[in-house]
Amino acid sequence: MTEKHAIKPGQSIELLKELHILTRDGKLNQDSRRKLKQVNHLYQFIEPLLKEVQADHPGITLADHGAGKSYLGFILYDLFFKYQDDSSHIYGIETRDELVLKSRVLAQKLDFPGMSFLNLTVAESVYSEALPATIDIVTALHACDTATDDAIVFALKKKARFIVLVPCCQAEVATALRKNKAASLAANSLSEIWRHPLHTREFGSLATNVLRCLQLEAHGYHVNVTELVGWEHSMKNELIIASYKDLPRRRPSERLNDLLSSLGLTEMSERFFTL
């Protein structure tokens, strides 16, 4: 990949420098070239969703949970939102004061007025008056453990049309599997799948995402699960994209409850709630 083809037309060189994707003299080294490839690859997944919302109505709203340095938000704004002559807005939600402040300063410096950065937990954001009643697109990339589940709750409450998730470290289900392991082994030979500690952790991560997909389907979403090719440096490489289609809810809801029962996880029914 040459530098000419790595940087998209109209992409802000100043922003890429601020995000340390480009060096101060505007060059791409091997590491930054990989970062830019990753960002552009993820944008390819999200751009069609933005255009679909745009075809329906002006003024796209997007909430990015666990925003960190707001890498994703800034790139989305630079490549898409800055060209919209309407009320389109990105909300970056992050708990670390210093990152929220830095993002606010950078947005002002780059003249990106359609960006807001809120110092909130994902759970707090569900009821925050700083956010609109509905949000078109919700993203949560590498939001740790239950923060991804909180982002799903947020998206459901805000009637999001699209949900884009890259789940991160997931311990809650694995902890419940570990706690109930003895009873499960006595009752079900399938529990051999997570009998060993390493398998408990790995299966817990897989089961968490399966339950999340069923939960989204039980709320009328079509769910697509794929590999986020390009994030080679991360083992957390699963990309979940949910699109609201008002699909039938009974079967996925029944499957979700059956799975929770089969895995000995009925105590987590509230976490993976359905309507």
Tens digit of each residue's pLDDT (9 = 90 or more) over 125-150: 999 999 999 999 999 987 776 788 88
Checking if the pLDDT of 4 tops 60, the result is no
Q: Note the pLDDT of residue 236.
A: 64
Distance CA 243, CA 208 (A): 19
Q: Note the pLDDT of residue 24.
A: 80
**What is the domain partition of the chain in residue ranges?**
3-168, 171-219+247-275
Q: Note the pLDDT of residue 239.
A: 92
pLDDT digits (tens, 9 = 90+) for 105-115: 999 999 999 99
Q: What's the average model confidence in pLDDT over 196-214?
A: 91
At 231, the pLDDT band (50, 70, 90 cuts) reads very low
Q: What's the average model confidence in pLDDT over 112-119?
A: 97
The per-residue pLDDT of the chain, averaged, comes to: 88
At 256, the pLDDT band (50, 70, 90 cuts) reads very high
Q: What's the average model confidence in pLDDT over 223-247?
A: 80
C-alpha torsion 128→131→133→134, nearest 10: -130
Q: Note the pLDDT of residue 233.
A: 47
Fold of 3-168: Rossmann fold (3.40.50)
Task: Check if the beta carbon of residue 135 is closer than 8 Å to that of residue 63.
Answer: yes
Q: Note the pLDDT of residue 119.
A: 96
pLDDT digits (tens, 9 = 90+) for 5-45: 578 888 899 998 898 888 887 777 777 777 777 778 889 99
Checking if the pLDDT of 161 tops 90, the result is yes
pTM, rounded to two decimals: 0.91
